[in-house]
Chain A
Amino acid sequence: MILHAIELTHVGPFRDTVRVGPFARGFTLLEAPNESGKSTAMRAAARALFDRHTTKSEEIKSLQPAGTDLAPRVAVEFETREGRFRIEKTFLLSPRSLLQRWQEGRWQAVAEADAADRRTQELLESTLPGRGATQPEHWGFLGFLWARQGEPTDWPSLDDPTVGQRIRARLAKVEIDPVIEALRQKLAAQADGLLTSTGQAKTGGALRQAEDDLVSIDRELATLRQSRAELDLAHQRFTRGQDAVQTLEREAADHEKTARALGEQALAVERLRGELDTRRLEFAAAREALSAVVNALETVESRTRELAAARLAHGEAAGTMQTQEAQLVRVRGEIDAQLLARPAQEGRVTNLRAHRQRLQDLLKLRELHQQTIDLQRQHATVEKTAEEVTRMEAALARLPTLTPARLRALEELAEALRTLEAQTLALGLTADLFPDSPRRVTVNDAGEPLANPLPEGKATRIQRPQVLDLQLEGWGRIVVRSGAREAQTVSADLAATRARFQQALREAEVASLEDARAAVAQRKELDLQVRAVRTALTKDLGSHTSAAALLDAIARSHRRAESLASQLQPTPEETARGRTELESAEAQAAEALPAAERTLQVTDAALQQLRQAERGQSDAVQQATRTAADLSTRLRTLESQVADLHARFPEGLAAAKAREQQRFAEAEARQLAATAKLPPDHERLPERNRRATAALQQVQNALQASRTERDSASGKLESLGGLGLYSQESLLEERRAEAVMRRDALRGQAWTARLAHDLIEHRKQAATRSVLAPLEERLTEAFADLTGVRSRRVFLRDDLQIQGIGGTRDTTHGFDVLSQGAKEQLLLCLRLAVARELAASEPQVLILDDVLVNTDAGRQRRVLDVLADQAAHLQIVLLTCHAERYRGLGETLRLGSA
């Protein structure tokens, strides 16, 4: 196909109709500045040639003028080996398509709408995607021959079965066998319908469906077989359970028989044991009766002996009782004598104690009075010292609050001031005025005023840092200026330092530095004195913390003395007695009191002893009385018991004893006879019986468990047995057999089709490889023409893609790592080669959209040479914004309105 013209309406920047063309049969340069619509025009032409007119894809919408809903309309006039055609398509709004053919000097309609699209597709040997806009791989040969802007180094795959394969065949000079190609395509379709490219079953394909069916059936079968396995397991459980039940039932019957026999034996023994028990009871009763008679006989003899002894003891007890009563009367007389003497001794002790206590209280009162007087004296001393402290602290408070640190700061400021003043003197202006007569001189500045008038004949010095502005009385104004800048700085520092110094003095509340130093010394002295007086005050206070505490102590001492005096109310004689006299009287009282107390204690001790003797004697009398009474009672009891025993056996004790002895012998004989009837191991029978019962119970428990297990298995079997698992499995097995056959058939079909296809492809590639060298030769030569470098070869891969350039195949620089310029030029060579091959049977257009942007000027010239040569065989359309590079080559077109 070659292009003749393009017509655009409502496309990109072209809101009006624009006609691009006519394109020359050889070389056409389509020239326009950047963003003027060159590429858009070609892109729109591709849409008109290859897309469905009804497409509403983003690629079509992007053709609309920006911000409008206008329907793009594109017409392309082109020529194939079948003739010259014009396809016109309107997209998006009221889409339409019209294919015309140039016949008899005018355009004649060939087809409309979808038919026009299909016919154009046939003419251009292009294809359509399933949906949406076409891509370059759908554009037939133009997909390879159109180097698009920004994609000059992209080269489509040659694997496409229609166009790519044909290009490969043409490049490799291999004739395509249409039957084999059809065979290859059919095999590919068969394989691709069933397998993925990696040989797996294709999703949605019949093989995958068969495999899925098989998996599903196998899953169902597995579930079913699980149920069958459960059934088999349940069957085994049932069989085991059934066997166990039968075994245990036999065992239980045996145990039951044994238990029953033992039970009967035990019953018989029980009856014999009952009889034996009866005989034993009879024997015990006879023995008891005999024992009772023997005991009674012994008791009578014993009680008779006891009665004689008791009568003798009763006589002795009565004598003892009379002796004890006489002694008790004597002790009571002695107690009465002691009680009469005791009150006089007790009165003397009490009087001595009261006298001594009063003497002690009088001494205490004297002591309290003396203590009060001492405290009052101490308080007077403390008062005096405290006043001294107060006075000194007031003096201290009056001193300026100047610390040694602040004094040091003041001294440093004074030193700085002196230094600055010295500097000012050295650097600034100094005027010594010696007036002849007293004169008034005014310094015109803010400095310290002069003490006018100046005395005559005496120097008055005026110093200023830079300007000395003087108003001399009777003379006028004199202004003296200094050029020294340092003096000004020093002066400013001086003024500032002076101000800080004055401020520091004010804050320290002193007039001068000397005052400050004096104040600091005075404060130090006063501090020392205050500390000394305070130490003396502490000493005067003694154990008291303050003067107020001392006053409290005085008051307390006074109150105690008052209280004691009011309590004692001393007589005038007592008040008149001296302290020594009082102390002597108290000592005498202290000596007399212990003697009186000892006398009283001796009396009390004797009294206590007598009372104890009285209680002992009284107890002895009572004991003798009770013993006599007890013996009397015992005598009566024994007499009564002997009488009772004789009364119980009227026939006489000896006769009763003989009778009971006879009965005892008879009972003993009967018991021995009953014992002889019992079997020898009757003692073990209960244990044996218990064991047999326990064993039977155990077997019955085991039997019950086995029956439960068997019945459980039986239930499971009944429920599973009715499910018809075999029938279900049969149906699944039959379905599975079908699915396996279907899968195997499809798999066979798939792999054989894939392998047959791959073998054909393998042989085609082998054929391609056989002609690879000549093709590489042609491309190497073309690339050398283009680049001027003849030492490099171009190498192709088996699929006719460029492998790279270099000296040998193993040392090539791969296409991907080549420079953009080299890639552009290599692909230009390949495109030219392809276009030349295709042009042999049909005219072809090669569209180069700004593809040589990375080509230098030297190679550019060679490119022009090559393009000029190829233009004799091909239609070449080159889009550029640099027309000057292509001057003199073919026709030049500029975009313009129709």
Chain B
Amino acid sequence: MFRFIHSADWQLGARFSQFGARASQLREARLTTLRRALDLARQQAVDAFLIAGDLFEDNQVDNALVTAVIDLFRERPDVPVYLLPGNHDPASGPDSIWERPAFRNAPSHVRVLTTAQALDLGGGVHLLAAPLHQKLSTLDPSLKLRDLAASLPSGTLKIGLTHGALAIEGKHQPNDFPIALDAASRAGLDYLAIGHWHSWISETDGGRIVMPGTPEPDRFDHERCGQVALVELAGPGVPAKVVALPVATLTWESLSFDFLSADASRSSLEHAFNALRERAATCVVRVTLKGNATPQGRRETLAWLEGALAPFFVSQRIDRTALALSAPELADLQHRHPLLAQVLNDIDRMEVLATGSGSVSLPPLGEGTGVAAVAPPTAPLSLAEAQRLLDHSRTDLASLKTEDFVLLRQVLLQTLQEVAP
């Protein structure tokens, strides 16, 4: 019986630009996950901890991270670690991360497999490694495993280790190291540990090829990730027993709030927040606001959200709401501030001029509002006037989009609310 942990695509040091300064917290979480996975391996008393490529996001991550990773390995000398360079961290030469002093001086239980080789792990078990030396290639890296396996005596347990995309028609790029779907059986391997995609795949080649996915989610829309594979091989030719062990530190939740049904949305969000409350400290939350909101409603919702999102590890708010006034509100506004009504009409006009279509801020004067028109009839804004007005802010009319006019109305009406008695 040979037991080992198979993981891949840790992508340590990955960039999270969309989170700005909070990105470092997300990077730190991935190290925490590695620590957890190693501890799990120790608890399971595994014979090996395989990393099938992309331990690092890039060969050029900083030394502090490399040292931190080595320290994690060093602190667990009873967990033999086998590292395979992937397409993000290929063994490409002296600039490769594997050539850093930290790896050159790594403890003996940490083996970096920078060349294609067959390692005798003892007990009739061989680990056959086909590392990557570049970022892109149309060659199947598992072909080397076949050559390596051919030189080994039959009757031994052969575990393959490489990195690349499964050559599933229409799902992989030709230069993405395509691995044949029968690569394990073709090479006579008992188990082929691969990495590249970030979601769990374990049914390929009769269950002999396994892609465990990234142990730590890095996107809101990733599924079947956040795990490592615990593999048991009873002997040559015996199907592997593979168990997914969850190790992720963070969960990523994407929620939404639609002003179309504000009350229901709020209720739904409150429910979701309550459900997440216990793991808020390890949860990355994104809330997307959409629909037409009244200034008041929007203001209140934003204020509520600010408090509700505070406990979460990282939160992100995407505001796609449009400010909206009810017909009576607009009519009242038109009645009390005729000039503002003209300005809103001008904005409508500009939107039409810029985008060819546009929303209508105000209903036609006197129509359906029950309020008589009070503003004197004015000439619509001409194209030249519109561009002249925009010149004061060095803005080109042609470059404006619908969302810009939404913002413009929002600023105008919000400011109005701020100054209105």
Contacts and interface: CB of A to CB of B under 8 A. Distances in A.
A724 interface: yes
A248 interface: no
4 nearest A-B residue pairs (beta carbon): A724-B62, A721-B95, A199-B394, A726-B60
B17 A752 contact: no
Interface string A47-75: 00000000000000000000000000000
Contact of A748 (B61, B63, B99, B407): B407
B94 A721 contact: yes
B106 interface: no
Given A183-B415, A714-B93, A734-B24, 15 more contacts: A177-B338, A179-B416, A199-B394, A713-B94, A715-B94, A718-B95, A725-B60, A729-B15, A730-B13, A734-B15, A734-B23, A735-B20, A759-B343, A760-B339, A767-B339
B16 interface: yes
B216 interface: no
Nearest to A764: B339
Interface of A: 177, 179-180, 182-183, 186-187, 190-191, 195, 197-200, 228, 231, 234-235, 238-239, 242, 713-715, 717-718, 720-731, 733-738, 741, 748-756, 758-760, 762-764, 766-767, 770
Contacts of B19: 734
Contacts of B346: 759, 762-763
27 contacts: A177-B339, A179-B419, A179-B421, A182-B419, A183-B340, A183-B412, A199-B392, A724-B60, A724-B61, A724-B64, A727-B62, A728-B62, A729-B60, A730-B15, A734-B15, A734-B19, A734-B23, A736-B17, A737-B18, A737-B20, A752-B411, A752-B412, A753-B415, A754-B392, A760-B340, A766-B342, A770-B376
Contact of B415 (A190, A741, A751): A190
Contacts of A751: 390, 393-395
A217 to B, nearest CB: 12
A242 B133 CA distance: 13
Contacts of B65: 724, 727
B59 interface: yes
B415 A760 contact: no
Nearest to B390: A755
Q: Which of B19, B393, B420 has the most CB of A within 10 A?
A: B393
A714 B346 CA distance: 65
Interface residues of B, number: 62
Q: Which of B18, B59, B95, B410 has the most CB of A within 10 A?
A: B95
B418 interface: yes
A734 to B, nearest CB: 5
Contacts of A242: 93
Interface of B: 13-21, 23-24, 57-65, 92-97, 99-101, 336-340, 342-343, 346-347, 376, 378-379, 381, 385, 389-395, 404, 407-408, 410-412, 415-416, 418-421
Contacts of A183: 340, 412, 415-416, 419
B69 to A, nearest CB: 13
B15 A753 contact: no
B391 A199 contact: yes
B408 A756 contact: yes
A235 B95 contact: yes
A692 to B, nearest CB: 34
Nearest to B64: A724
A758 B389 CA distance: 6
B63 A759 contact: no
A758 B408 CA distance: 12
Contacts of B404: 748, 752
A727 B61 contact: yes
Given A199-B394, A751-B393, A737 B17 contact: yes
Contact of A763 (B57, B64, B378): B378
A721 B389 contact: no
A724 B63 contact: yes
Contacts of B376: 767, 770
A754 B97 CA distance: 52
Contacts of B407: 748, 752
A558 B125 CA distance: 152
Contacts of A741: 20
A195 B393 contact: yes
Nearest to A179: B420
Contacts of B416: 179, 183
A756 B376 CA distance: 20
Nearest to B346: A759
A108 B411 CA distance: 49
Contacts of A727: 13, 60-62, 65
A766 B385 CA distance: 12
B313 to A, nearest CB: 16
A208 to B, nearest CB: 13
A397 to B, nearest CB: 113
A738 B392 contact: no
B93 A187 contact: no
A753 B95 CA distance: 51
A763 B59 contact: no
A186 B418 contact: yes
Contact of A717 (B95, B339, B418): B95
B257 to A, nearest CB: 20
A763 B20 contact: no
A767 B337 CA distance: 14
Contacts of B14: 730
Contact of B94 (A180, A714, A749, A754): A714
Given A721-B59, A734-B20, A770-B376, A198 B94 contact: no
Contacts of B16: 734
Given A726-B60, A727-B62, A762 B389 contact: yes
Contact of A239 (B24, B62, B93, B342): B93
A736 B408 CA distance: 25
A752 B406 CA distance: 10
Nearest to A730: B15
A198 B58 CA distance: 45
A730 B390 contact: no
B339 A763 contact: yes
Q: Which of A234, A734, A764 has the most CB of B within 10 A?
A: A734
Contacts of B390: 751, 755
A724 B58 CA distance: 9
Contacts of A770: 376
A715 B63 CA distance: 17
Q: Which of A179, A727, A770 has the most CB of B within 10 A?
A: A727
A750 B393 contact: yes
A389 to B, nearest CB: 117
Contact of B60 (A231, A238, A760, A762): A231
A190 B418 CA distance: 13
B97 to A, nearest CB: 8
Nearest to A736: B17
Contacts of A721: 59-60, 94-97, 99-100
B59 to A, nearest CB: 7
Contact of B411 (A195, A723, A730, A756): A756
A714 B95 CA distance: 8
Nearest to A238: B93
A755 B21 contact: no
Contacts of B415: 183, 186-187, 190, 753, 756
Nearest to B389: A758
B100 A180 contact: no
Nearest to A759: B343
Contacts of A756: 343, 408, 411-412, 415
B17 A733 contact: yes
A733 B60 contact: no
Nearest to B18: A737
Nearest to B343: A759
A667 B9 CA distance: 88
A894 to B, nearest CB: 52
A155 to B, nearest CB: 25
A366 B93 CA distance: 130
Nearest to A751: B393
A760 B340 CA distance: 7
Contacts of A750: 393
